[in-house]
Structure formats: structure tokens, C-alpha cells
Amino acid sequence: MKYPALQFLFLFSFFIVEANVSGNHLQDVTPPDTSTYISPFAEENELCFKCHGQERYEYMNETLGRQVKSLMFAERIVDRNEFYNSNHKSFSCVDCHSSEYVTFPHGGELRMELQYNCIDCHGGDDMYSSFNFEVIETEYKESVHFKLEEEGFTCWRCHDPHTYRINVRNSENLKETILYDNNICLECHSDYSRFRLMSDRDEINIIEKHDWLPGQASHFRSVRCIECHTRINDTILVAHAILPKDNAVKKCNECHSSNSMLMASLYKFRSVEQRRAGGFLNGIILNESYVIGANRNEYLNIISIVLFGAVVLVIFIHIFFRVIRK
């Protein structure tokens, strides 16, 4: 072993380096296996899924007297797997949709049925009090999205009731939560045809718009869009007051500081949960949240100040003896 330092360096580089690169575009978040969940309405729902569960469907055309194969309009397709993983998996389709849908062909007037908003079911219900739906509604009404209601914007644009699943409270993996939540924004903000349903603005290139952001790919992977584009509210986990773009956070120290705003949003729930489950120290150390400037370890701080103070003290004592023994 002629050059132990070189060998150490080489070994250490293998220890620390692992290829784990992912892009920052809309990515697929595969829902977990659904085989363990059996809906009490599975059979009943299957009557709908038979046609609406996939792109191609078949029906008996009585007039023609034969089976007709047809393609389902993309907006009317509900993926079974995603539905039975969603928050509303225990629902029957006709809990929310008119029971008249059970007849086929569906009556034309059914297309005009009113859709429920989140607050219609979740508002004023103690069971959901921890989610603070009322605060969410108030925030939503202050957001730039609310102004688009005339264009047809609703809660559903971001939270498709057929597929939406709460993530931050359930997921063990923070990166997956971030990806899932950011994909909600990118559904429209990186798909101009969807975006144009709500706005006549020119197409926006998210990557170019964020050119100013240092370490763009890292930021996109590590924080949710809403971290910078909403007004942080300590009482809800996901802030809904989407701000006009000019009011978005642009100062590094909003997050990269000891009292980082991320601790009041993205990391708050996880940190509290981990502290509850694994004790305070584990909650602080054993988490995925890492932000330069924010992850100061108080114990290391104290130890470093004491050690540094001791070194300076010894030096002063040494200087003192040098002076008096001169």
C-alpha cells in the first residue's frame, strides 16, 4: 500500500457516489398495488368502468343490431387502478354522479349535472377538521386560480376526485410526495393544450422561466412548486393561496436560513410525525429534509463553539506566558 491516502479517496468515492439522476419534467408516479383493496361497490362500479375504465369500449347498438367498438374521450376515462388507490376508493360512482347514469345510452341532459366541490362534502365535518377545509377554501378564494372560475376552474382541476390521493400525510418518501404534488401543477403548466382551457396566455416554458434559479434540477426535485408560489399558512399542510407570479419567492434566504419557511410547510408535518414516532433527536436527524443554511444541528453548534473557545483560550494562555517569560 504505497499511497494509502489515494486508496482511501478512491474507496470513499465509491461509498458516496451513486447514480440517482432523474429529470424534472412531468414524471410517472406509479400508484401502489391495489390488489389488497376490494371495494364494496366493485361490481356496481364495474358497470361504469366497462366503458369508462379504458380507451376502447364496446356496446350493443340496438338500432344497428350489432356490437359497436368505440374510443372513449380521454377526459371521461377513469383508471380503475388509480381510482381504487384514491381517497374516494370506497365510493360508488353514483354517490357523486346521477343514478340515472346506470341506464345506457346516457341521457344528454346528464352532461349538465352539477359537480360537487371539495367543500360540499368536507366542509363543516368534524371528521375532516384536521384538514381545515374551510381555511383551504378561504385561501383558494384568494388565489389566482379562483379568478379562473369563470373559465371553468374548480377544485377538480388539481384534485381529480377519481384519482387524487393525499400524499404528504401517507407517503414515507418525501421525494415521491414532491413529485406527486408537482405533477399536479405540471398537468396544466407543462401541457399547453390543457393550459389553454383556462387561459389565453402564450405558452410558458417552465425551465426557461426558472433559469434564474441556481441548481434548478435540484430545486425541482427537492421542493414543491407551491413552496414558492403560495403564501405559507401554518394551519394547513398544503397552502392554497397561489400567488401572482411576481409575488413568488425569489430570495434564497427565505428557505436557506435557520427559520426556513420550509419548516412551516413541506417539512413541518414530517418532522412532527418523526419526532412523535422516533424521539426528538431521530426526528431531527433521521429525515430527508436537507436545506443548506436551515439544517443547523444545535448540538454540533454548541460543541463547535466550546471547542473553538477552548482553542482560543489555550492560545491566549500561551501568549500570556510568552509575554511574561520574555
Partner 1 sequence: MYLYPLWIRLWHLLNAILIIILIVTGISMQYTGRDGSVLLVGFEKAVKWHNVAAIILTFDYLIFFIGNIITTNGKYYRIGRKNFIADLGRQFRHYAFGMFRREPPPFPVSEENKFNPLQKLSYVLIMYVGLPLIIISGLGLMFPEITVSRLFGVSGLILTDILHITMGFFVSVFLVIHIYTCTLGAKPTSLFRGMITGYHVSDDH
- Tell me the closest approach of the beta carbon of residue 1 to partner 1, in angstroms: 13
Cell of 249: 419567492
Member of 110, 197, 252, 277 binding partner 1 (CB under 8 A): 252
64 touching partner 1, by CB under 8 A? no
Stretch that binds partner 1, among 19-27, 31-39, 196-204, 223-231 (CB under 8 A): 19-27
- Round to whole Å and give the CA distance between 322 and 326: 6
Given candidates 285, 302, 306, 313, which one binds partner 1 under the rule CB under 8 A?
285
In DSSP notation, 80-91 reads HHHHTTSTTTT-
Indicate whether 295 belongs to the interface with partner 1 (CB under 8 A): yes
SS3 label, residue 291: coil
Where in 166-276 does DSSP place strands (E)? Answer: none
Q: How far is C-alpha 220 from the geometric centre of its chain's CA atoms?
A: 11
Q: Which of 260, 265, 267, 270 binds partner 1 (CB under 8 A)?
A: 260
Nearest Cα to Cα of residue 253 among 212, 284, 294, 295? 294
Closest to 40 (Cα-Cα) out of 5, 103, 90: 90
Measured CA to CA, the distance from residue 27 to residue 45 in angstroms comes to 29
Single out the residue of 50, 141, 245, 318 in contact with partner 1 (rule: CB under 8 A).
Answer: 318
Binding mask 39-58 for partner 1 (x = CB under 8 A): --------------------
Eight-state DSSP code of residue 242: B
Neighbouring C-beta atoms of residue 118, cutoff 10 Å: 19
> Is residue 322 involved in binding partner 1 (CB under 8 A)?
yes
Instruction: For residue 13, state whether it binds partner 1 (rule: CB under 8 A).
Output: yes
Residue 271 lies near partner 1 (rule: CB under 8 A): no
- Would you say 175 and 167 are in contact if contact means Cβ atoms under 8 Å apart? no
> Which range in 59-67, 160-168, 234-242, 307-315 contacts partner 1 by CB under 8 A?
307-315
Task: Determine if 292 is a binding residue for partner 1 (CB under 8 A).
Answer: yes
Distance CA 49, CA 118 (A): 23
Query: What is the grid cell recorded at 137?
Result: 377554501
Shortest Cβ distance from residue 196 to partner 1 (Å)? 33
Compute φ and ψ for 148, nearest 5 degrees.
-90, 5
CA distance 180 to 26: 9
For residues 163 to 192, the per-residue mask of contacts with partner 1, x marking binding by CB under 8 A and - elsewhere, is: ------------x-----------------
One-letter amino acid for residue 326 of the chain = K
Instruction: Write the binding mask 214 to 233 for partner 1: x where contact by CB under 8 A, - elsewhere.
Output: xx-xx--xx-----------
Applying CB under 8 A, which of residues 123, 129, 253, 313 lies at the interface with partner 1?
253
List interacting residues with partner 1 (CB under 8 A).
3, 5-6, 8-9, 12-13, 15-22, 175, 214-215, 217-218, 221-222, 251-254, 256-261, 285-290, 292-293, 295-297, 300, 304, 307-308, 311-312, 315, 318, 321-322, 325
